Structure 1
Amino acid sequence: MDYKEVEQALMAFRDKKGWQKYHNLKDLAISLNLEASEVLEIFQWQPSDHELSDVERQHLEEELADTLIYTFYMCEKLHVDPMDIVAKKMKSNQSRHWETEAK
């Protein structure tokens, strides 16, 4: 699936569930943060070199998907393509960090 197909599927699911009324930027940002915290929880109290079990890896993939889904919902609200804003940010980071390295 490409991004547009994913976006359409997510919006169809949201609309079928009647969740659109809850999808304002503030509440989506809260949900995104909560899901990101669930990503962090997988690593809580583990050593930095901890190897994920198959169960932990599956859980991590599910939580990453949740964070992406809320990010995609926010992008839809803002009428931006997430790939475009990532590309812009990468370009900004490259020029900023290359200037720092040249000094």
Structure 2
Amino acid sequence: MERLQKDIIQFTKARNWDGNHDARNLAISISLEASELLEHFQWQSAEEALATNKQEIAEEAADVFIYLLQFADLLGIDLKEEARKKIEKNEERFPV
């Protein structure tokens, strides 16, 4: 994951895009890309959407992931650690 974050940062810096990548803009971009992901499922079943648009869905999911990695890097968030903590918290909130 760290290598991927470094590759994304290098890609962004090489194009001088990092000036626009503050926490606010990245949070907005995550939401916008998630909305584009949802758009593929509008007015059809998940099965239909995947049968006709799987590659586009994968690309939108990757966009969300890339922006989320940039956001986490900028804010110094260890996503793996935070996910583990969230799972533990949810286990307490929603016991089996």
Same fold (TM over 0.5): yes
Output the TM-score relative to the length of structure 1: 0.86
Deviation at 1:52, TM superposition (A): 1.7
1:29 to 27, 32, 55: 27
The question of 1:66 aligning with 2:63 is answered yes
Deviation at 1:48, TM superposition (A): 5.2
Deviations 1:50-96 (A, max 9, x none): 3622x511111000000000100110011112111111111111111
In angstroms, what is the RMSD of aligned CA positions? 1.4
Aligned twin of 2:14: 16
The structure 1 segments of at least 4 consecutive aligned residues displaced by more than 4 Å after TM superposition are: none
Could you tell me the percent identity over the aligned residues?
A: 33
Is the CA contact (8 Å cut-off) linking 2:23 and 2:71 kept in structure 1? yes
Output the TM-score relative to the length of structure 2: 0.92
Aligned twin of 1:40: 38
What is the identity, as a one-letter code, of the residue corresponding to 1:56?
Answer: N
Q: Structure 1 residues 64, 25: closer, same or farther in 2, change over 3 A?
A: same
Name the CA distance, whole Å, in 1 between partners of 2:24 and 2:12. Answer: 17
Aligned twin of 2:87: 90
Equivalences, count: 96
Is the CA contact (8 Å cut-off) linking 2:33 and 2:63 kept in structure 1? yes
Larger Rg belongs to: 1
2:74 to 72, 77, 101: 77
Q: Secondary structure at the match of 1:12?
A: helix
Deviation at 1:15, TM superposition (A): 0.7
